[in-house]
Amino acid sequence: MLAAHILSHKLEPAQIAGVYTFDQPRLFDAGARASYDRILRPATWRIVNSGDIVPQIPFWHWGYRHAGQECFLPEINASEDQAGGGLLLNPWWDQTAISKLNAYIQAFRRRKDVLIEDHFITNILQRLESEAALRMSVC
């Protein structure tokens, strides 16, 4: 994201086809985010796994902000019907807060190290594959 931001000032923004990140921490203050989003928001996709703590740091109340568009992957519960709970595009904070809280509670109950496990790219890919399979079955 930082490289795309720097390059966008040196190249024509149309030359940057896309920026994809996976569970990245917050990078910008409000001013830098506005500068980034003005040019690159339509081409930027932040994939966020619900149980991953990394996208929550550094903390929002310290002035750090995310940029780009968020693709939020809620906690998957195999015992529930998943048709209503797929990927959320640019969700409101309250939509993600409940899912994150549930992911942390479930991780604690299962004695799973949520701070590490949900950050693995294999876990993110599994969630994306589940989302793709769900969308294919609906079509």
Question: Looking at the domain assignment, is residue 46 inside a domain?
Answer: yes
DSSP 89-123: ES--HHHHHHHHHHHHHHHHHHT--HHHHTTSHHH
Q: How confident is the model at residue 105 (pLDDT cuts 50, 70, 90)?
A: confident
Question: Looking at the domain assignment, is residue 59 inside a domain?
Answer: yes
Q: Taking the model in full, what pTM does it have? A: 0.74
Structure tokens at 24: 């990245």
pLDDT in tens, 8-25: 888 765 688 899 999 899
> Which three-class secondary structure state does DSSP give residue 74?
coil
Question: Looking at the domain assignment, is residue 139 inside a domain?
Answer: no
Q: Residue 119's pLDDT is what?
A: 77
Question: Looking at the domain assignment, is residue 137 inside a domain?
Answer: no
DSSP 24-44: PPP-B-HHHHHHHHHHHGGGE
- For residue 61, the Cα-to-chain-centroid distance in whole angstroms is 19
Pick 129 or 68 by higher pLDDT: 68
The DSSP bridge partners found for residue 49 are: 73
Q: Phi and psi dihedrals of 95, rounded to 5?
A: -65, -40
Q: Select from 15, 62, 13 the least CA-distant residue to 36.
A: 13
Q: Between 30-40 and 2-10, two packed helices, what is the crossing angle to 10 degrees?
A: 60
- Name the residue range of residue 9's domain: 2-132
pLDDT in tens, 29-48: 999 999 999 999 999 999 99
Total of domains in the chain: 1
Question: Looking at the domain assignment, is residue 138 inside a domain?
Answer: no
